[in-house]
Amino acid sequence: MNSEPGIRPDLGDEPPDLRYAAYARNRLANMPPPADAEAFALAYHLLQLSYLLVTDLETRIHRPRGLTLAGFRLMFKLWLLGPTQPVRLAEISAMSRSAVTNVVNTLERGGLVERRPVPDDGRAVVVALTPEGEAAVREAFAEQARREREWFACLGPDERERMTALLSRILRARPADL
């Protein structure tokens, strides 16, 4: 499995989460169905990477600037899309409307976004970046882009594209009854 000859292929130098993953995969390989070692490994590595990336971006980039990752992601959407209704933001984020309310509340307290009434519909509001919010998202975006490059620098351009394509395929084939 490990391909370095002359070096003992043990796992002593692996991070604890990868050591655990390898151990769990081996245990599952000896269990009867529906246990599925390959599906487990894929799901585990996917969730673990996502978790580490989120935590890294949050603690290293956004928290020091007084933002959160959720707040940044919402502001980034507003930056690209312009003023947008919460229900629309919830839709493209696959998030609940109340989650959007919470994030917008936090951003509004910080003066980064504002709510505006919609003339044609008394129920609706749009969320819009303030000038301070636009400056904040622009700066945080540059730093996040640099950090993402670092994370994926270990893959070649073709590998990055293949990976994105595989992820897209799974997303497109998502179970209908989400």
Partner DNA sequence: TGAAGATCGTTATGGCCATAACAACTTTCA
Partner DNA sequence: TGAAAGTTGTTATGGCCATAACGATCTTCA
Going by C-alpha positions, the residue among 115, 103, 111, 117 that lies closest to residue 131 is: 111
Q: CB nearer to DNA: give 8 or 109.
A: 109
Q: Among residue numbers 89 through 118, which ones bind DNA (CB under 7 A)?
A: 94-106, 115
- CA-angle at 170, arms to 69 and 41, nearest 5°: 80
85 makes contact with its own copies (CB under 8 A): no
CA distance 18 to 20: 5
Q: CB nearer to DNA: give 116 or 160.
A: 116
138 makes contact with its own copies (CB under 8 A): no
For residue 66, is it left (φ>0), alpha (ψ between -120 and 50) or beta?
A: left
99 makes contact with its own copies (CB under 8 A): no
Q: How far is the CB of 144 from its own copies (least distance, A)?
A: 8
Q: Which stretch binds its own copies (CB under 8 A): 36-44, 103-111, 112-120, 123-131?
A: 36-44
125 makes contact with its own copies (CB under 8 A): no
Query: Measured between alpha carbons, how far apart are the two ends of the chain, in Å?
Result: 37
Q: How far is the CB of 62 from its own copies (least distance, A)?
A: 14
Give the total of residues touching DNA (CB under 7 A): 29
Is residue 167 within 8 Å of residue 155, measured between CB atoms? no
CA distance 80 to 89: 12
Is residue 30 within 8 Å of residue 108, measured between CB atoms? no
Q: CB nearer to DNA: give 34 or 119.
A: 119
One character per residue 142-161, x = contact with its own copies (rule: CB under 8 A)? x--xx-xxxxxxxx-x-xxx
